[in-house]
Amino acid sequence: MVAYHDDDRQMMPHPILIEAKQIAPNQILLDYDQRADLASATKISNYWIRSNMDRPAGIASVGMSEALSAMNSIRSDVGMIIPVDNSNMRFVMTFRVNAISRVMYTVLPCFVSLEGRTGYMGGNWGPFSRNFFIGM
């Protein structure tokens, strides 16, 4: 077993969220740029959704000024994520509640490893990610 330094775990190759698109009042389609490890990509607690409201509402787990933590990730009683096809690059998040219309949401995935790997410990979005949408 190889011991990783924290910086190494954040710098290891990892899939980046290309786009998050609302496809139904309670569903978001996620597209990654590379094949993701299925276990980490479908673990709902590896995701946060930030809203532009002070406090989280609707599908959001964090408000505008909150830091991401294990306590405010998306919980399994609120939503789930499943693969769309066999690409391991496209996933659908489904929530028990609808997104609030005209609220801006930002999808923030973390800890999603590349297919065949584990242990990535950073964020899965970048400067070119289209990971935000306005609730329909």
pLDDT tens digits, 49-90: 999 998 898 999 999 989 999 999 999 999 999 999 999 999
User: CA 79, CA 18: separation in Å to the nearest integer?
Assistant: 21
Q: Which two tokens stand for residue 134?
A: 């306005």
What global pTM score does this model have? 0.91
User: CA 102, CA 51: separation in Å to the nearest integer?
Assistant: 11
Look at strands 132-134 and 79-83 and give their pairing: unpaired
User: CA 128, CA 136: separation in Å to the nearest integer?
Assistant: 23
Evaluate whether 95 touches 49 at the Cβ level (below 8 Å): no
